[in-house]
Structure 1
Amino acid sequence: MEKTKYRQLFKEILKAYYEEVFEEKIEEIMNREDIDKESLSKVISALCGVEVNYSDNFSEDLKFAIKNYQKTNKVVINTSPCTKNCVKVDDKIICENACPFDAIIVDKETLLLNISIDLCVNCGICVDSCKNKNFIDKIEFLPILEILKENKKVIAAVAPSIAGQFGENVSMGQLRAALKYIGFEDMVEVAFFADILTIKEAVEFNRHINKEKDFLLSSCCCPIWVGMIKGRFKELVKYTSPSVSPMIAAGKVIKEIDPECKVVFIGPCVAKKGEAKSDDIKDAIDHVLTFTELKDIFEVFDIEPNKFHEELSTQYSSRGGRIYGRIGGVSSAVEDAVKEMYPDKMELFTSEQASGIKECKAMLQSALKGETSAAFLEGMGCDGGCVGGPKTIISKEKGKEHIEKYGDDSKVNISVNNKIMKKFLRNIGIDNIEDFEDKRKVKIFERKL
């Protein structure tokens, strides 16, 4: 089944679920001619955000699973046996070669594909690399819809790279209004939490960099980059910042202030779905949606964000936090923070960036060999950064343009000078910038790699 057909099928299912004819629609789909019911059941389950095996009671079991959603670590689902009719390189088929973590294992006799739970980081690269569409990532909107129906407080946390994705002139205020129309309590910009992580990374830089040849790997953005460090370059973990990503920080802070609140992240990639399910940080974000999924949801509900009146918020982020969505954004923001907080360390601040799997691997190999000449290393798994994510709607070039404009429109240039952020932090016991050097006070922004 083609990727566009997956999206169309998702929209069919969502419409039926909303109109309360879900079971009838599932049975109608499953009774269509010339289908492999086992494979199609896996596709449908994934589109519903759950894992249900095919049976005579499939539609009922599916509805029960949605209403009683259970979080699992699995994001990417293998739907069909491999036909092995694609190009081979070094005796490996395309998806095997594409996986940066060697997590795809093909049984040479049965041709069945197996995804190793221990090795897979749910980056989703196999989803796009397989021409036969044997992989699909879960879409968790139907379980979200169940939460919204219960009138629970659900906050949408949107990635900086959302700028421009839903139209040249669609503002954050219009996106907030559109999301509230669906049923979200409110929308927050993850760029605001990137400001917090910028200060945290500046503190880590000061802690790790004391002389030439010292270096620090940033950890606060891309789960593919962090997965590569943890899985393939373990020796570099000790040089890696323990900071969580802005997405995780958003969920943690919101729930610290309101423990009953649910948080849904909306971003450009599959890997964030996996990050949200990581054992050590899995309580921060309840669900993840991608830009393309949100686009499909808007279409089913006849929502056109450009036709909504803006719902403005008093919370805003700095330019530094807003440009996290493109490669080099983290480095730029942290450099500005170091200059403000630790001016005597500026002579040691040099940075290097890598985007895309190939560049990231090369930079990590150089660091492992002690051949890096930079003190601050930033890596993003997608070409160009988050603006080049697989679930974006516009090109990475256009995405970068919008990110830059989004940043330039901010009233604050440097995160350290974000007065609203400082007021916000007092709610979780951080009274000033100096408190970021107190490990006890910033525990909420750290993870153990």
Structure 2
Amino acid sequence: MISDESYRRLFRDLLKAYYEDVFEEKIEEVLDKEELDKARFAKLISSLCGVDVKYSNNFAEDIKRAIETYKGSNKVVVNVNSCVRDCVEIDGRTICQNACPFDAIIIGKDTLGVEINIETCVDCGLCVDLCHNKNFVDKIEFMPLIEALRGNKKVIAAVAPAIVGQFGENVSMGQIRAGLKKIGFADMVEVGFFADMLTIKEAVEFDRHILREKDFMLSSCCCPIWVGMIKGKFHELIKYTSPSISPMIAAGKVIKKLDPECKVVFIGPCVAKKAEAKAEDLKDAIDYVLTFTELKDIFHVLDINLEELHEELSSQYASKGGRIYGRIGGVSIAVEDAVRNMFPDKTDIFTSEQASGIKECKKMLEDTLKGEIKVSFLEGMGCDGGCVGGPKTLIPKEKGKEMVDSFGEESKVKISTNNRVMNEFLKGLGIENLEDFNCKEKIEIFERKL
């Protein structure tokens, strides 16, 4: 059994050793303890390094080679311990089993062995957050990323809207950009800017879906857990769901369309984003995903104090609407503003409802199936409060919402449709004006098949 702090401390120790070129020696030191189940602990170390390497007499050498020749890994959530079943809550099932919206966790009653059903698991990471025994961990991809940062490739950090305030109330986005550049990133961009593009896409989808007062649409923006629930458990609702990609995926696709040689790293509060980046139809958009907690540990190891850095400023190009995507209700507000601007005749029939957290999302989807929903636009996020309540955040969700709202108000662009910088980027994609969002061929970059 390992605590969350012990887990993070081990990551920091391994990362420090990697930078100091004593990585293999550190691994051998960690494993050189008689009481350890070496095979299980090797699985933990492997996950902290973002790779899949089984224990052997050459484990340290094997894992170093796997990092240096990293080809990616499809599985994000890994089981590293047997279950002690000290958290049984309902019907003999553990907390993680009852919380998993996809029934993907199987625990043997006699052996206490844990299996993750790869057919139903979507790597949402809820079990990682809920298990106080740290039976589940999510892979950390930073060590393979180090090799890219040391190479000649341009690596761009795309940060989630929820990042504001996470590293200190007085730490500016310019200081976060400066810190990321010290790590080796070429630059940092706000994913809120690409959320502006998706806001327009969702407004067009609203116009297409909502023809009568009783019509409704489910937004697919932002949350892979919400999309996973629709696809896995409420398949009948797919036809009412927007086929839009998320702002994270849009960031990767647009940046790479304009600069095919660069790599894009998403930084956010969510384990599920690691899985979304690996989805078969999306996997070329984002190269690596880091969480806020991982980034904090990286700054710590590299002795980077954000508050002491001079700001690296850039154009403030994300609108208020794009920036508030980080909290529940933000998507609805942004899309309603765009609908009012683009389709004024639909303004009166735009009504919305939001659900945050698994229970609320499940109830909303069940009510929708029963025909008990009376609104035209439905927004769901798997974490309580939205992304600001994600499992890898560093501040309470209430403070996160306050910081996101404040940062949104700071933007000189209030509505995505008025974002002139975004319009210039869109021209580089062959989208000349807002009307082009009605052309399937031109907006293909922003769509996926659900």
TM-score of Structure 1 vs Structure 2, range by shorter chain: over 0.9
Residues 61-210 of structure 1 mapped to structure 2, 5 A cutoff: 61-210=62-211
Aligned AA (2:302):
F
Kept after mapping to 1: 8 A contact 2:175/2:311: yes
Aligned AA (2:374):
S
Partner of 1:389: 390
In the aligned structure 1, how far is the partner of 2:429 from the partner of 2:170?
35
Partner of 2:245: 244
**Residue 357 (structure 1) aligned with residue 358 (structure 2):** yes
What does the per-residue CA deviation read over 1:49-70, in whole Å, with 9 as the maximum and x for residues that have no partner?
Answer: 0111011000011001111112
Partner of 1:432: 433
Partner of 1:235: 236
What does the per-residue CA deviation read over 1:370-412, in whole Å, with 9 as the maximum and x for residues that have no partner?
Answer: 1100100000000000000010000001101100110000010
What does the per-residue CA deviation read over 1:387-440, in whole Å, with 9 as the maximum and x for residues that have no partner?
Answer: 000100000011011001100000100000000000111111111100000010
SS at match of 2:260: coil
Q: 1:75 Cα deviation (Å)? A: 0.3
In the aligned structure 2, how far is the partner of 1:412 from the partner of 1:70?
40
**Residue 447 (structure 1) aligned with residue 448 (structure 2):** yes
In the aligned structure 1, how far is the partner of 2:178 from the partner of 2:34?
42
Aligned AA (1:381):
G
Partner of 1:254: 255
Kept after mapping to 2: 8 A contact 1:315/1:420: no
Q: 1:38 Cα deviation (Å)? A: 1.2
Partner of 1:400: 401
Kept after mapping to 1: 8 A contact 2:316/2:411: no
In the aligned structure 2, how far is the partner of 1:356 from the partner of 1:218?
16
Kept after mapping to 2: 8 A contact 1:242/1:446: yes
**Residue 45 (structure 1) aligned with residue 35 (structure 2):** no
Kept after mapping to 2: 8 A contact 1:354/1:378: yes
In the aligned structure 1, how far is the partner of 2:155 from the partner of 2:134?
33
SS at match of 1:327: coil
What does the per-residue CA deviation read over 1:28-80, in whole Å, with 9 as the maximum and x for residues that have no partner?
Answer: 00002421111111110000001110110000110011111122220000001
What does the per-residue CA deviation read over 1:150-178, in whole Å, with 9 as the maximum and x for residues that have no partner?
Answer: 13110000000000001111111111111
SS at match of 2:378: strand
**Residue 25 (structure 1) aligned with residue 16 (structure 2):** no
Residues 360-379 of structure 1 mapped to structure 2, 5 A cutoff: 360-379=361-380
SS at match of 1:354: strand
Q: 1:307 Cα deviation (Å)? A: 1.2
Q: 1:261 Cα deviation (Å)? A: 0.7
Structure 1 window deviating more from structure 2 (77-86 vs 119-128): it is 77-86
Partner of 2:306: 305
Residues 319-338 of structure 1 mapped to structure 2, 5 A cutoff: 319-338=320-339
Q: 1:91 Cα deviation (Å)? A: 2.2
Aligned AA (1:126):
C
Partner of 2:346: 345
Please give the TM-score of this superposition, normalised by the length of structure 2: 0.99
Aligned AA (2:152):
N
Please give the TM-score of this superposition, normalised by the length of structure 1: 0.99
In the aligned structure 2, how far is the partner of 1:135 from the partner of 1:272?
17
Q: 1:96 Cα deviation (Å)? A: 1.0
Kept after mapping to 1: 8 A contact 2:165/2:400: yes
In the aligned structure 2, how far is the partner of 1:246 from the partner of 1:306?
28
Distance 1:151 1:315, change over 3 A: farther
In the aligned structure 2, how far is the partner of 1:425 from the partner of 1:419?
10
In the aligned structure 2, how far is the partner of 1:264 from the partner of 1:250?
10
Partner of 1:265: 266
Partner of 1:422: 423
In the aligned structure 2, how far is the partner of 1:98 from the partner of 1:372?
24
Identity %: 69
Kept after mapping to 2: 8 A contact 1:46/1:139: yes
**Residue 274 (structure 1) aligned with residue 256 (structure 2):** no
SS at match of 1:105: strand
Q: 1:109 Cα deviation (Å)? A: 3.7
Q: 1:111 Cα deviation (Å)? A: 2.0
In the aligned structure 1, how far is the partner of 2:141 from the partner of 2:280?
18
In the aligned structure 1, how far is the partner of 2:293 from the partner of 2:263?
21
What does the per-residue CA deviation read over 1:271-302, in whole Å, with 9 as the maximum and x for residues that have no partner?
Answer: 10011011100100000000000000000001
Q: 1:315 Cα deviation (Å)? A: 5.0
In the aligned structure 2, how far is the partner of 1:194 from the partner of 1:289?
19
SS at match of 2:88: coil
In the aligned structure 2, how far is the partner of 1:242 from the partner of 1:36?
46
In the aligned structure 1, how far is the partner of 2:185 from the partner of 2:173?
15
SS at match of 2:251: helix
Large movers: runs of 4+ above 4 Å: none
Q: 1:268 Cα deviation (Å)? A: 0.5
Aligned AA (1:226):
V
SS at match of 1:382: coil
Q: 1:311 Cα deviation (Å)? A: 1.1
SS at match of 1:139: coil
Aligned pair count?
Answer: 449
In the aligned structure 1, how far is the partner of 2:210 from the partner of 2:383?
27
Aligned AA (2:445):
I
In the aligned structure 2, how far is the partner of 1:325 from the partner of 1:186?
21
Aligned AA (2:204):
V
Structure 1 window deviating more from structure 2 (98-107 vs 272-281): it is 98-107
Q: RMSD over aligned Cα, in angstroms?
A: 0.9
In the aligned structure 1, how far is the partner of 2:440 from the partner of 2:106?
41
Aligned AA (2:20):
E
